[in-house]
Structure 1
Amino acid sequence: MNGAVSGGRAVLQLGLGWFPESHGGAENVFYHLANHLPGAGFSVFGLVLGSGAAEAESGRRVASFAPPTASLPRRMAAARAGVGSALRRHDPDLVASHFALNTVAALPALRHRPLVVHFHGPWALESAAEGAGPLAVRLKFLIERLVYRRAARFVVLSRAFETILRERYRVPEERIHRVAGGVDATRFAIPEDRPTARERLGWPQGRPIVLTVRRLVRRMGLTALLDAMVELRARVPDALLLIAGRGPEEEALRDRIQALGLEDHVRLLGFVPDARLPLAYRAADLCVMPSQALEGFGLTALESLAAGTPVLVTPVGGLPEVVEGLDGDLVLDGADAPALAAGLAEALTGARRLPGRDACQTYARRHFDWPVIAARVGRVYDGALAETGLPSNDGPAS
């Protein structure tokens, strides 16, 4: 093995943030790959934005190169210095990038090593969808292009993101490899039944509860979901929608709930700690992912299934790929309020076929448990190493 890190081929992972501190999809993937890639034959060292908690909690396998509050110039300089130091200390065989901005300043130092990009989403396009100005969007797109031109291979979460890479970033199809997101299936398969979970959370026992776990931003579809609740209330009078998450749209959502007279039918839960999410999923009758755009995979849909609770998804981005292998009508007919209302009403009244608890959990464990996903990522890394003539275990990934 090349490098100072022992135990297999060595990979330097460049992340966005440390998952226990920053609860995003890219952070979640980085965190779990750091834990599970050793089981696929890779030694891992990682760099993230964060506090010193990453180093302490990871056994010094992940370090912070700057705090999340660092200014952009300081962040870029710290990323360049941190990557340079990691390359000298660990001499990795391969570098994996999970966020372009934390990689771009270090590109000159990476020129002699294969680079794999984990494409968690189009940073520039997501910023535009959330209201960023054209200059900021253009700058982000240029940063992405600089990093992507250097990459030997790409890992994408879904066919939808594969299409974006090909069409918007002009990445050749043969360099793109689709590997779904993962879930810690054991952690979500808790023993509590629905009434017990509701009792522990203080949720009402006698009402049908729909849960959505979302970042409160425009493209997540929460406005359409609130509009759908007006119709759902007419068809299922005691239905209750619980929205877990935080974000810049919180105040606007509160105002809309009041304007629509939904105070008795919708509650904003705010941030739900990661440790209580399994209980929340288990306590719900049904989960919903009402995304309107740029949804690459849908991790919370997968978490819901791992907890044994069926989830309805809009036909947007990679969401259908999360549930397409399950029996049941889990993909809604559309993403607008009427389609959401119709699907939820059918599910809560028994008119729409839904998989049971055991089927949901078995599906999540068999196809998306993190050891399964880490092994697939490892094969992509092996392919990148084989292309450069460096040692690998399995040869090119398919």
Structure 2
Amino acid sequence: MQFNNSLRILSTGMGWPSAQPGGLNTYFKHINEALAEDHNLQALVSSAEKPVVKEGLQVTNVAKTQLKLSKRREAFRQHAAWLMDNQEVDVVYSHFAPYSVGVALEAKERNIPVVMTFHGPWSEEIKLEGSGLKHWIKTIIAKNMEMKAYRYADAFIVLSETFRSILHEQYQVPLSKIHIVPGAADIDRFKPSAQRAAIRERLHIPEGTTAVLTLRRLVNRMGLLQLIDAWREVAKEIPNTVLLLGGKGPLKEELESKIKEYDLQSRVRMLGYVPDHELADYYQAADLFVVPSQALEGFGLITVEAMAAGVPVMATPVGGNREILQKFRPDLLFAGKSSADIADGLIRSLRQKESWPTAEQCRIHVLEHYTWARVSRQVEGIFRSVIDNHLIAYGRNRNPRVLAERKGGHEKDVESSVFGSYR
């Protein structure tokens, strides 16, 4: 329900999780849904197919992902400019630096404040997944794009202390501009199930087997190679355990080769990509969730999702996972991020299952700290503060471009760049 003092928010993201799964897109979906409960919000994304959108939420697909990045960026800029010229916008809320540059510049030309959520160093993520001169040049271009986008922001939201430090130290953003607002879990969807035995039977998890689950993109920084090395030791020490490994990515063949080399075929099940509609079942079926991240874990969305479903989580002390578990059960953090640290921690924990937090304790911690209602209230508070400061500094002059200047070619370009608006 929207009230008279509701804000008019233009929100720009990367994609939508129904078409392009991932932590950033999942966060973007949920925060937009939460904010739209009380505010007039329009979201812009780039997607290969029609996003599946909650009724009442305004999401416009401005460019196909098959287009070159430069064309996608321009599509965001053009459509955002058209919206800002045709309706009042109180704040621009952006989530992905490459798509944010042009949108933020257009907002600045109209004296509209910009708030950016920093989901991590995009250029560093690229750097970790390749090598060679061309890859290095790609990394430099990405970093320059990020730096340009961040110059236009009035305030930043980060999901952890770790990312606040990175944003400040690597991108020279003043600490006074950075606000920490942790992410959240969909508590209505991810919750313990009374039908757990039936779910485990359907997923072919034998009775009496301890199921350890991880759901990760199959890339180096997620720590899956280290986890398989660790599981080799776990399998020797702890009988009747199986590792369920879900996800897709470039490490698939290397992981499968290592599983075969270690003769772990009966102790590790590669699930492949787990569709969004099956996630809750896998959480509810698991006995333990493990997050072996090696770098750039900004929050730990899957950590709080698993805990909301009543599953205890063990994780490396990296990024947001360290912050989540230190507040809850520090003993569930591995001593470090090496395969030896992960193996030692899992063996110790699996031998002492009676010490695990209960499903109720896991869920209560999420309900107290990591709900989307709580996040949206904090984000709204940041919006209002930024808007108030902007009005003090610049007054109410929006200085919109004359619409006549946008008639003809430009307006036609905007219309042709948009291939779907879904409400």
For the aligned pair, the TM-score class normalised by the smaller chain equals: over 0.9
Larger Rg: 2
Answering whether residue 10 of structure 2 is matched by residue 12 of structure 1, we say: yes
2:123 counterpart residue number: 124
Q: Which TM-score applies when normalising by structure 1?
A: 0.92
**Structure 1 CA distance, aligned partners of 2:374 and 2:105?**
33
1:61 counterpart residue number: 58
Say whether the 8 Å CA contact 2:192–2:359 is kept in structure 1: no
Say whether the 8 Å CA contact 2:247–2:273 is kept in structure 1: yes
Show CA shifts across 1:304-326 (max 9, x none).
10000000010111211122222
**Structure 2 CA distance, aligned partners of 1:233 and 1:191?**
28
Deviation at 1:131, TM superposition (A): 1.2
Residue 146 of structure 1: which of 137, 148, 152 is its match?
Answer: 148
What is the correspondence of 1:309-320 to structure 2 with a 5 Å cutoff? Answer: 309-320=311-322
1:159 counterpart residue number: 161
Deviation at 1:108, TM superposition (A): 2.9
Say whether the 8 Å CA contact 2:101–2:149 is kept in structure 1: yes
Provide structure 2 residue ranges, at least 5 long, that are not aligned to the other structure.
393-423
Give the SS at the match of 1:64. strand
2:304 counterpart residue number: 302
Matched AA of 2:369: H
Show CA shifts across 1:266-290 (max 9, x none).
1110111112111111111100000
Say whether the 8 Å CA contact 1:180–1:368 is kept in structure 2: yes
Residue 46 of structure 1: which of 31, 43, 48 is its match?
Answer: 43
**Structure 2 CA distance, aligned partners of 1:98 and 1:336?**
32
Deviation at 1:109, TM superposition (A): 1.1
Deviation at 1:354, TM superposition (A): 2.1
Shifted more, 343-352 versus 225-234: the winner is 343-352
Provide structure 1 residue ranges, at least 5 long, that are not aligned to the other structure.
391-398
1:25 counterpart residue number: 23
**Structure 1 CA distance, aligned partners of 2:4 and 2:251?**
46
**Structure 2 CA distance, aligned partners of 1:52 and 1:23?**
13
**Structure 2 CA distance, aligned partners of 1:32 and 1:280?**
20
Say whether the 8 Å CA contact 1:190–1:278 is kept in structure 2: no
Q: Which TM-score applies when normalising by structure 2?
A: 0.87
What is the correspondence of 1:374-393 to structure 2 with a 5 Å cutoff? Answer: 374-389=376-391
Q: Which has the higher contact order (CA 8 A, sep 6+)?
A: 2
Deviation at 1:366, TM superposition (A): 1.8
Matched AA of 1:117: M
Show CA shifts across 1:172-227 (max 9, x none).
00100000011111211143353222013222222111100101101000000000
What is the correspondence of 1:1-398 to structure 2 with a 5 Å cutoff? Answer: 8-39=6-37, 41-51=38-48, 53-54=50-51, 57-59=54-56, 61-111=58-108, 112-131=111-130, 133-327=135-329, 329-350=331-352, 353-389=355-391
**Structure 2 CA distance, aligned partners of 1:278 and 1:184?**
10
Shifted more, 278-287 versus 324-333: the winner is 324-333
- Residues 95 and 267 (structure 1), Cα distance of their counterparts in 2 relative to 1, 3 Å cut: same
Say whether the 8 Å CA contact 1:183–1:302 is kept in structure 2: yes
> Alignment RMSD, CA only?
1.8
Give the SS at the match of 2:197. helix
Give the SS at the match of 1:182. coil
